[in-house]
Chains A and B, each alone.
Chain A
């Protein structure tokens, strides 16, 4: 009987997701297409050279980024971004879990953490530059210094809010420390952790660009600033377009991972809504 209702529920959910993905695809593409058309019409009647038309930018996009620039500028940016995000997640979750579990540590550090979180990360760039020079490490450190905070603070909150009955259950069955971490603390905190990662991703992208504009001889941020200084307007816009695409890719990749990791969480919400 259970298996039956269970399978009915899951096929209904499957269809629901398929339908929703299709609908959101239309939504996602419909509006950009409309804007593109408006943009094309507006620029074809205007002579302002700072706002080239979509076709011009598309041509510049292909000319600029397809070729060696991809290896010289796009890949380094993506490396830095990837490393920065990875380090932020690993360090943020590890340290956040520790602080969330150890009460005195939490009470000691909480005001300090709020202070660090309040510092706008770009102001750290000159400092980190002095310490590490104009290196890739410096850029990764800048990215981490901004993206880690939402992840760290959300992890602390999530770990701390572990349900008392769930904890007592683990106590009564003498679940070991590692198993407790793996099967109770981290999954229980995972909705908060994922919310933190989502915020961290956008911060990371911003800091990647800013750190490259500040001090670099390669990268997307560097290229965009370079085009701007040399009045290569269509090229500059094509770089901004590429950044937007990177952002969209990050959001989509995050969505896929989140759907997997938090399947139970969304499942519960769906069940309780029904």
Chain B
């Protein structure tokens, strides 16, 4: 009998890319569960299969083996319960649509009245602070704002789980800090469940309630670390906490081991 609040369950997930030049085992054996309302960060070195894992979670890729379960039923394809924010925001937003058109597009096939749809769109754009840019086109906005549009599109879709793939890898440091706080805020105020993938160790510790450290490819979960920082986080004070530094160092150490292909580091002292 699964825990009632279990939202996502991944068991022995394996993914092998087959190609004529030889097979690539991107994911070896990944298992974890996630509860509703959690914010889980997945961190791992570049090329370790993070994007592959996300696509399997979102039903965009069929795993070679294992199981992904959402709300107790297996994921076999894209589901209205999940929304993805892609790494390449420039290629994920449609340049011929306005900001509003982009956010609205996924809602068109939902059975909503016009007013309900408008409200969802306006609401989502307000939540990311872009209500004033509704009629702009994505290419008229900065990179950070474009990623906000992609987040608004995901929020308006009203998923149970938002999946984000290195969403802030390509924006400058200040914008990135603002966007991180936006994600924390969405999680806190809307009770959204979020899987946030990053290769940035600091980001994973600052954002997450939990951090899953992945090994290098073929991937398994090297460590499942609870982040016991206070829920109210602040870019300056939280990052200055000794506990933050300890957690960060620990994850860093794990990633170094993952890169070298070594096993698990000793458990973190409390």
- Could you list which residues of chain A lie within 8 angstroms of chain B, going by C-beta atoms? 2-3, 5-6, 9, 163, 165-166, 168-169, 171-176, 179, 183-184, 187-188, 190, 264-265, 267-268, 271
Contacts of B139 in A (CB 8 A): 264, 267-268, 271
B132 in contact with A3 (CB, 8 Å): yes
Q: A165-B88, A271-B139 are in contact. Are A171 and B78 (CB under 8 A)?
A: yes
Chain A residue nearest to B133 (CB atoms) is A2
- Interface: B191 (CB within 8 A): no
Contacts A179-B108, A179-B109 given; does A166 touch B141 at CB 8 Å:
no
| Known interface pairs A166-B91, A172-B58; A2-B109 also in contact (CB < 8 Å) | no
Interface of A, secondary structure class, is helix
Instruction: Report Cα–Cα, A15/B153, bound state, in Å.
Output: 34
- Are the CB atoms of B96 and A168 closer together than 8 Å? no
Is A6 within 8 A of B133, CB to CB?
A: yes
Q: B145: CB under 8 A from chain A? A: yes
Cβ 8 A contact of B92, one of A3, A166, A176, A190: A166
User: Which one of B7-15, B36-44, B79-87, B182-190 contacts A?
Assistant: B79-87
- Whether the Cβ atoms of A172 and B60 lie closer than 8 Å is yes
Using a CB-CB cutoff of 8 Å, which residues 101-137 of chain B contact chain A? 101, 105-106, 108-109, 130, 132-133, 136-137
Do B106 and A175 touch (CB < 8 A)? yes
Interface pairs (5), CB distance under 8 Å: A6-B133, A172-B59, A173-B78, A174-B78, A174-B79
Q: State whether A2 and B136 are in contact (beta carbons under 8 Å apart), knowing that A171-B60, A172-B58, A173-B78 are contacts in the complex.
A: yes
Report the Cα distance A176→B110, complex, angstroms: 10
Q: Contacts of B88 on A, CB cut-off 8 Å?
A: 165
Question: Does the CB pair B95–A174 fall under 8 Å?
Answer: no
Which B47-80 residues sit within 8 Å CB-CB of chain A?
55, 58-60, 78-80
CB of B206 closer than 8 Å to a CB of A: no
In the assembled complex, which residues on chain B have CB atoms less than 8 Å from the CB atom of A183? Answer: 94, 97, 101, 105
Contacts of B105 in A (CB 8 A): 173, 175, 179, 183
What does DSSP make chain B's interface, helix, strand, loop or mixed?
Answer: loop
What are the residues of chain B within 8 A of A184 when measuring CB–CB? 94
Most B Cβ at <10 Å: residue of A169, A184, A188: A169
Chain A residues positioned under 8 Å from B145 (CB to CB): 2
Chain B residues with CB under 8 A of A5: 140
Task: Please report the C-alpha to C-alpha distance between residue A3 and residue B142 in the assembled complex, in whole angstroms.
Answer: 12
Minimum C-beta distance from A21 to chain B (A): 22
- Among B86, B101, B109, contact of A169 (Cβ-Cβ < 8 Å): B86
Q: Are B96 and A187 in contact (CB under 8 A)?
A: yes
Q: Among the interface residues A9, A172, A179, A264, which one has the most CB atoms of the partner chain B within 10 A?
A: A172
B157 on the A face (CB < 8 A): yes
Give Cα A176–Cα B106 distance, bound, in whole angstroms: 9
Q: Does the CB pair B82–A172 fall under 8 Å?
A: yes
| Partner of B132 from A2, A173, A174, A179 at Cβ < 8 Å | A2
User: If the complex has contacts A2-B136, A171-B60, A172-B58, are A166 and B80 also in contact, measured as CB distance less than 8 A?
Assistant: no
Residue among B78, B133, B141 facing the most chain A CB atoms (10 A cut-off): B78
B140 touches A271 (CB 8 A): yes
Known A264-B137, A268-B139; contact A168-B86, beta-carbon cutoff 8 A: yes
* With A165-B88, A190-B96 already in contact, 10 other A-B pairs whose C-beta atoms are closer than 8 Å: A2-B140, A165-B92, A169-B84, A169-B92, A172-B59, A173-B153, A176-B108, A183-B94, A267-B137, A271-B140
Residues of B within 8 A of A171 (CB): 60, 78
CB-CB nearest in chain A for B132: A3
Decide if A163 touches B91 in the complex (CB within 8 Å): yes
Q: Which residue of A lies closest to B101 (CB)?
A: A183
Taking a contact as CB atoms under 8 Å apart, the answer to whether B133 and A175 are in contact is: no
* CB atoms of B91 and A176 under 8 A apart: no
